Amino acid sequence: MPPLSFTVFIPLFTFSAAVFFALTGIRFHSSKGPHYASSNQKSAQRTQWCRYLTNYVWHAVNDVDEFDYTPLYLASLCGHEPVVRLLLQRGAVCDTDKYEGVRCVYGALTDSIRNLLISFDISKATDTTLPFASHLRSLLESDEPLTKDIVLDVGGAESLRLHRFMLSARSQYFREKLLTKWKDKNVIHLMADCDEEAFKLVIGYLYLAHDPFKFRRGDQKLVLRYARKVQLTQLVENLQNNNYIVDPKNFARLMKELQLSLLESARLDFKHFVESSIIANKIETIQSDISDDQVEQLQSCSAFPDLIFYVTDSETATSTYYPVHRSVLIRDEYFKVMFSSSFSEAQDYSILEDLQIVDRSTRLSIQHFPVPNHYIAEIVLRFLYYDHTDIPLDHAVDVLFAGDLLLNDRLKTMAAVAITSSPALPDGYDLYDILRASWETRVERLEHFVAKKIASNLDEFIEDPEFHDIVSESAQRITIRQETDTIELIDDIRFYLAKKWNIDFDGLFEGQKNDLVDQLPGYSNYEMDMAKIEALLSELQLDA
């Protein structure tokens, strides 16, 4: 822990200044008098001081001092890579599309720090635009739950435990081998002269876990050789082109563009995989169960599944069975809990203990997919496998409820966007149905959507008995209603009425207005609409 006087006087300095003192080895006055760290002070000690700053004193890691220096710029300028890494992990921004990010890259003391800054910028960008990429990267290192089902022996000290479906989806070479020569093998022995590090770079590329700069530092001839061998055309082109860029700014821009392009290519790979290997291999039946032969058909199909999911259509009673993968389904919190807990579903598969991979020779488990029909099931599968976000309006409400059941807020948001961005409502639903669905699934976006629609056409709704009922329902949603409680729906309608007539009450207390408000062109119309709302509340004996 830093000296007590450090915690007392640190508020006198900006966060950047505090980091600067920590980096340069200067320590604050203590009870024993001023002293300075020795010139050979370890980098770990600097990092420890900065960790204290970021954890316990300040959280403004992106603030600037009087010279417009950020902590990240100072750390990169001074050449302290562990501190740069720590600041990035704590939320420091290095956007190479902006001046501050470019300045950090240009000012970095070492190539290692420069590469770290660019790589982190690329990683943050891709995690935001393609969340599935972050999950696929995690599969390479994570074994919770254990889902890997093949071992590649590259002749090194450590073999690679991987996923058949990943290799198949990303590489035509691996796909053909897994369907033929390697079909019944658990361990694949690659060529004796295989370079472990170079081959790991290629595998990292398949799992979207690669760092573009590692390709520069490694043996590029070997990496190119392996990339050509497994038919990774885009990686080959990338390796051949990025050697000619020297300028850090241009290189950072090119790396970001290439990374996003490669990730989009990976998304298309998984789109093709889902359509051609999962959905194309589904089995539909009117029977209550599928036969052993049908289970074997799914188990040996080109999807290389470790699980079978089925959904029963709530109207036709037809069941549809899909070959799927635990490792992808756990992107969703519902399935993550299911497969990582003491539930029976988490224990319903076998492990080859000596290899620490899934035993594919045992019969696959069959689990129920809790959605109303196969249309919704396939929308959810496309979303989980490759972030497909196009939801047909006719299925949007069902997807909304599926997202709520699966504890997936992003899926609910996508469904809400599909509803609110359409000029029409889903077939079979009116505004009141949408509002009730929003209450049940806790999607505020839909509540505002309905309130805005009602406010825009108040005269069409104000005499509607169903509107009266929905206002009463909104009032009853308050568990213990007090006399002064407002009604959520009415509050939202009032807000959008003000927007409709361009009345601005910002900065005023409730019921207060300034001298200019009642002179606005739309104020009289606003007052008339508000009077209708008050009359309705009086009729319903509601005070809001």
The 3-state DSSP class for residue 191 equals coil
Q: Judge contact between 73 and 107, C-beta under 8 A.
A: yes
Give the Cα separation of 418 and 189 in Å (integer). 49
The yes-or-no verdict on residue 512 having pLDDT over 60 is: no
**What is the rounded average pLDDT for all residues in the chain?**
79
What would the pLDDT profile of 13-72 be if each residue is shown by its tens digit? 444 555 554 554 444 333 334 443 444 444 555 555 455 554 444 446 666 666 777 778
- Residue 245's pLDDT band, with cuts at 50, 70 and 90, is low
- Alpha-carbon Rg for the chain, nearest whole angstrom, is 30
What would the pLDDT profile of 67-96 be if each residue is shown by its tens digit? 777 778 788 888 878 888 877 766 676 665
Q: Which residue, chain included where needed, has tokens 């889903």?
A: 426
Residue 37 has what pLDDT?
A: 42
Residue 32 has what pLDDT?
A: 39
- Residue 380's pLDDT band, with cuts at 50, 70 and 90, is very high
The yes-or-no verdict on residue 308 having pLDDT over 80 is: yes
Residue 471 has what pLDDT?
A: 92
Residue 493 has what pLDDT?
A: 92
**Mean pLDDT, rounded, for 117-142:** 68
In CATH terms, is domain 134-275 a member of 3.30.70.240?
Answer: no
Amino acid identity, residue 38? S
In CATH terms, is domain 278-390 a member of 3.30.710?
Answer: yes
- Residue 310's pLDDT band, with cuts at 50, 70 and 90, is very high
Please indicate whether residue 529 or residue 18 has the higher confidence score (pLDDT).
Answer: 529
**Mean pLDDT, rounded, for 165-192:** 92
Where do the domains of the chain lie? 4-93, 134-275, 278-390, 430-539
Residue 87 has what pLDDT?
A: 78
The yes-or-no verdict on residue 327 having pLDDT over 90 is: yes
- Residue 105's pLDDT band, with cuts at 50, 70 and 90, is confident
Residue 141 has what pLDDT?
A: 83
Give the HSE-up count for residue 322: Cα atoms under 13 Å, Cβ half-sphere.
27
- Residue 508's pLDDT band, with cuts at 50, 70 and 90, is very low
Residue 85 has what pLDDT?
A: 81
User: CB-based contacts of 78: which residues, under 8 Å, 6+ apart?
Assistant: 23, 24, 109
Q: Which residue, chain included where needed, has tokens 């595998």?
A: 203
DSSP string across 288-301? SS--HHHHHHHHTS
Residue 513 has what pLDDT?
A: 54
- Residue 193's pLDDT band, with cuts at 50, 70 and 90, is confident
Name which of 290-304, 491-505, 513-527 the model is least confident about: 513-527
Q: Do domains 134-275 and 278-390 have the same CATH topology?
A: yes
Please indicate whether residue 48 or residue 414 has the higher confidence score (pLDDT).
Answer: 414
The yes-or-no verdict on residue 300 having pLDDT over 90 is: yes
The yes-or-no verdict on residue 187 having pLDDT over 80 is: yes
Residue 64 has what pLDDT?
A: 66
The yes-or-no verdict on residue 147 having pLDDT over 70 is: yes
Residue 303 has what pLDDT?
A: 96
194: which 2 tokens? 């295989």
DSSP string across 151-180? EEE-SSSSPEEE-HHHHHHH-HHHHHHHHT
Specify the pairing of strand 307-312 against strand 319-324: antiparallel
What would the pLDDT profile of 331-356 be if each residue is shown by its tens digit? 998 998 888 766 655 566 788 989 99
Specify the pairing of strand 319-324 against strand 351-352: unpaired
Q: Judge contact between 222 and 154, C-beta under 8 A.
A: no
**Mean pLDDT, rounded, for 279-295:** 92
**Mean pLDDT, rounded, for 143-157:** 85
**Mean pLDDT, rounded, for 401-423:** 93
Q: Judge contact between 380 and 411, C-beta under 8 A.
A: yes
User: What pTM, to 2 d.p., does this model score?
Assistant: 0.74
Alpha-carbon distance values, 155 to 163, 192, 242, 419 (Å): 19, 6, 29, 54
Give the Cα separation of 42 and 38 in Å (integer). 9
Q: Judge contact between 302 and 279, C-beta under 8 A.
A: no
